[in-house]
Each structure stands twice: as structure tokens, then as C-alpha cells.
Amino acid sequence: MNAIKPVFENITNELNSIRPGINIIAVTKQVGVERTQEAIDAGIRHLGENRPEGLALKLQSIDAGVSWHYIGNLQTRKVKDVVNNIDYLHSLDRLSLAKEIQKRAEKPLKCFVQVNVSNEETKSGILPEETLDFIRSLTAFDKIQVVGLMTMAPNTSDSALIRTVFKELKSLQLQVAAEKMEHAPCTECSMGMSNDYVIAAQEGATFVRIGTALVGSESEAK
């Protein structure tokens, strides 16, 4: 029996009741190959990893028509190990990373620019007021397609604060999209995780990143 399938169906129905078409990324960083395969068997077609080693292991063990998302901070020195094995990068946040992607990528990579909307020192990402200029600076990088923006809300139970952060990212995404830059259509918003994906969906998320609430967690995951 596939334990993930009913959970996935419930979350899908929940999101469809808010707005159809939201993409669910199963964040499989805390589970092993077997649980990841179970997620695929349940019908999940977007998988998220945040470590090059975890991504490599699953790519070796799983052969399926899924889209791979790299959702963690990507060190410049690790770009060569990741960039040609993923479909989406959710953490483009500095020019040095963009330059390394341009150097290593064999084809254009769909990227989300990570924005630190809440301005927390512990979070990666560029500041909202720097976002538009940063994206404009990527014009000549033909291996980078800015498909959207990504943020993480503060770790808090204050739903009003979380909502404010998501509202700001959505507003910024629409601002970038209005520029109609060829290299940056910026039509997507990646926001919302296990604890706040409903709020994210209500505020315009097109991708949500759900880990423990969808696939659980295995301390022994490799």
C-alpha cells in the first residue's frame, strides 16, 4: 500500500480548491530512495533535493520521468556536479553563481531568484530592492532563464507575518514580469512549505515545496 498517495491527493485537492494548477514539489531530502520512489509511484512529478550527494544518489537509483528541483543553497564549487542534472534551480542569489552556471551548463537552466523578503540574517537570498537590478544584470547569460522568484517565510506561527512575506514576493514577481525581459519571463512564484503552503497558495504561489507533510522524514535517509 502506498501511504503517500492519499496524502498527495488530499494536498492536491486542497490546493485546487484555492487555485488549480499549483505545482507540488515533494522535498525528498529527508527520505531515502525507496520513499522517493513511493512518491513517484503516487503520481508526484516534481522532486526537490538540497544536497549534491543526495541528488546524485537518487539520480543513480531512480529512472523516472520527473522534474528535479535543487532547492538549497548551491556552492559555486558544486555547480559542476548539479547544474546538468536538474530542471530547476530555486536558489540563484548572486552573480558569482550565475557566472559558474553560465560556464558549466550545457543548456539553459530554469532558475528562481531567491529573495530574502523577511530580511533575516540566517537566510540566503538578495533583498527585494536589489532584485530587479540583479535580474537585469543577467541579460547576457544565455544559460540562465529566470522563470520566477523564490522565498522562505520566517519560522513563526504568526500567519499574518507569513502572509505579508508571500504578498511581497508575489508583488515583486509581477513587477519583474511586467518588464517583459526575454531572459526573465518571471511568471512563477516558489513559496510555501509544509507549515505554510496553504497561505502561499492563497497569495499566488505556483510552486510549493512540501517535505515532511507529504513524504515524511527518515533520520537514516541517504
> What percent of the chain is predicted at pLDDT more than 70?
98
Task: Report residue 125's pLDDT band, with 50, 70 and 90 as the boundaries.
Answer: very high
pLDDT of 221 higher than 50: no
pLDDT for 219 equals: 57
- DSSP string spanning 160-207? HHHHHHHHHHHHHHHHHHHT-BTTB---EEE---TTTHHHHHHTT-SE
Closest CA to 129 of 168, 177, 159, 74: 168
pLDDT of 194 higher than 70: yes
Top-confidence residue, 120 or 43: 43
Name the amino acid, one letter, at 119: N
The Cα-based distances of 58 to 4, 41, 49, 169 in angstroms read 18, 15, 9, 31
Q: Are 101 and 144 in contact (CB under 8 A)?
A: yes
C-alpha angle with apex 175: 137 to 118, nearest 5 degrees?
A: 85
Question: Cα(89)–Cα(125) distance, rounded to whole angstroms?
Answer: 13
pLDDT for 120 equals: 79
Question: Cα(35)–Cα(109) distance, rounded to whole angstroms?
Answer: 27
What is the number of residues in the chain? Answer: 222
pLDDT of 12 higher than 60: yes
> What percent of the chain is predicted at pLDDT more than 90?
90
pLDDT of 220 higher than 50: no
Closest CA to 214 of 194, 192, 191: 194
**This prediction's pTM:** 0.95
pLDDT of 15 higher than 70: yes
- DSSP character at residue 50: -
**Which domains, and CATH codes, for the chain?**
4-215 (3.20.20.10)
pLDDT for 122 equals: 78
Question: Cα(181)–Cα(184) distance, rounded to whole angstroms?
Answer: 5
**Out of 21-35, 106-120, 206-220, least confident range:** 206-220
SS3 content of the chain, % helix, strand, coil (to 5): 40, 20, 40
